[in-house]
Amino acid sequence: MRPLVFAGNWKMHLGPEGARGFLTRYLAGHEPVQGREVWFFAPAVSVAAVAAQVAGRADLRAGIQNVHWEAKGAFTGETSVAMAREAGATATLVGHSERRHVFGETDQETGLKVRAALAGGLIPMLCVGETLAEREAGATLAVVRRQLDVLAGLDAAELGRMRIAYEPVWAIGTGKNATPEDAAEVHGAIRGRLGELGAPADRVSILYGGSVKPDNAAALVAETEIDGVLVGGASLDPESWRAIVRADRD
């Protein structure tokens, strides 16, 4: 059975001191649940602080929001996979919509980052999703398929280490979100494409991201094709985040 993954993306919030304070408050009420994982994608400067707080807890994981595909070099402001690992990260986001649409990250670059992460021992969570214009044009599945095609050529073992997050761009930070049924349909298409690429698709967790809050998390994870959520703003408050992590699937 695929684990339910609850991933918080702190974006450009919570430096090291703020991260430690957040986790002190969150962990005071955290209760591990079998088959449920909690991931924290922190800013690069806070990864070590998060890793120290979650060390020894099998259900918790420290992640970084972005990595460069080169091992080292003249890339001012970037973080290599090895640096992220040294700081304590065990996972990385790749291709988040803000990286694509604010910073101009291309599909080719997401493919390079996925391969660098896999080679360096990080779990890549590849983010895919369409804009509002693409959705209204009926191009959702074509866009998602194109974004997944960067995984072509990976072997089954590598593909099995992937995590995918479907985050429709029009739903991020807007208060809008795809209905659980709509999201589940896209997740099913993603799983089908992963199978075509040679992945053990039934073992790859596929998350939904886009204006997830305590009041809609349970309805989302109740869909069998939705294996968890990737959460932005609502992951910044320990109580709100705890409520999401405790969302009942039944």
Question: Is 167 a residue of the active site?
Answer: yes
What does the pLDDT average to over 110-124?
Answer: 98
Token pair recorded at residue 171: 């739903």
**Is the pLDDT assigned to residue 250 strictly greater than 70?**
no
Handedness of CA 81, 82, 86, 91 (dihedral sign): positive
Q: Is residue 152 included in any domain, yes or no? A: yes
For 146-158, write each residue's pLDDT tens digit: 999 999 999 999 9
Q: Is residue 250 included in any domain, yes or no? A: no
Q: Is residue 69 included in any domain, yes or no? A: yes
Q: Is 2 exposed, middle or buried (0-12, 13-18, 19+ CB in 10 A)?
A: middle
Q: Is residue 169 included in any domain, yes or no? A: yes
- Per the structure, the complete domain to which residue 230 belongs is given by 4-245
Residues 89, 79 contacting (CB under 8 angstroms):
no
pLDDT score at 198: 97
Q: Please give the model's pTM, rounded to 2 decimal places.
A: 0.96
> Looking at 105, 109, 167, 223, which residue is catalytic?
167
Residues 141, 189 contacting (CB under 8 angstroms):
yes
Question: Is 96 a residue of the active site?
Answer: yes
CATH number of residue 186's parent domain: 3.20.20.70
Q: Is residue 167 included in any domain, yes or no? A: yes
pLDDT score at 220: 95
* Structural domains counted in the chain: 1
> Looking at 37, 96, 105, 223, which residue is catalytic?
96
Give phi and psi for 229, each to the nearest 5.
-140, 145
